[in-house]
Amino acid sequence: MVYPISQIFGPTYQGEGPLIGTRTFFVRFAGCDFDCSWCDTKYAVSPKYPGWIKTMMTINDVVRDLTKLGWREWDWVTLSGGNPALFVDEEFCSGIRSKLAMETQGSVALKKGVSPWIYSLVVSPKPPSSGMASRYDSDLVYDMMFFRETKLLTTLKYVVFDEADLEWTIEISKGFEVFRRFLSVGTTTPETILEKTKWLMERAATDVRLKDFTILPQLHTLIWGRRTDV
């Protein structure tokens, strides 16, 4: 089997979600079934965008490149994209032999046999500001969230740019209260992250509907700006 890879980099630190601040390596897949307006990795979405890189790699190729970066089997490896759920299969997961994390928008089901290998799964539905909200499939997200083993970490992360995104998030997150849910501040410029985090926290503090959400900035953007290789 070969897989379309855009980037392999690290070690670095996870910038959002339940593993924020955790040392990890990244394997970024090339290709996505969405095309979000504010996506910061367009080069991993489609060949129509500048910087598109797709290298077809075997599992041994991926392990070789990770090892060159200093990866060992006890390290975290985060599978991102693009949308990694389009490509990651059981063979890939078992071949990496690592602690695996994955983030996906929940637009396609995980391939058979993948879920038990993914210790940390983050499902991140895309809000109205992305232009992709009409593609939200509540039944698919429900299946993805509720049919994982209890020993595995399964969370939801919503990117919020404005009030419309926030109201949409409140509505679609109903029924998922048993999971930890994150609000991640959406911004197109690193300079506005703290300002928008302040807005979101003050807004959530007065809305009882948001009392169980955890609010986080995009730590990686705050520290490294728009770089995509750290």
Six-digit token pair at 91? 């063979």
Q: What is the pLDDT along the chain (230 residues), one digit of tens a residue?
A: 999 999 999 999 998 999 999 999 999 999 999 999 999 899 999 999 999 999 999 999 999 999 999 999 999 999 999 999 999 999 999 999 889 999 999 999 999 999 999 999 999 999 999 999 999 999 999 999 999 988 899 999 999 999 999 999 999 999 999 999 999 987 767 778 888 899 999 999 999 999 999 998 887 777 776 666 66
Give me the DSSP letters along 109-150: PPPTT-GGGEEEEEE----GGGT-GGG--HHHHHHHHHTS-T
pLDDT of residue 215: 94
pLDDT of residue 222: 75
Give the CA-trace dihedral at 13, 187, 88, 169, to 10 degrees: 120
Q: Where are the domains of the chain?
A: 3-224
pLDDT of residue 193: 85
pLDDT of residue 150: 85
pLDDT of residue 226: 66
pLDDT of residue 74: 92
Give me the DSSP letters along 21-84: T-EEEEEEES--S---TT-S-GGGT-TTSTT---EEE-HHHHHHHHHHTT--TTSEEEEESS-G
Task: Kindly report the CATH number that applies to the domain delimited by 3-224.
Answer: 3.20.20.70
pLDDT of residue 21: 94
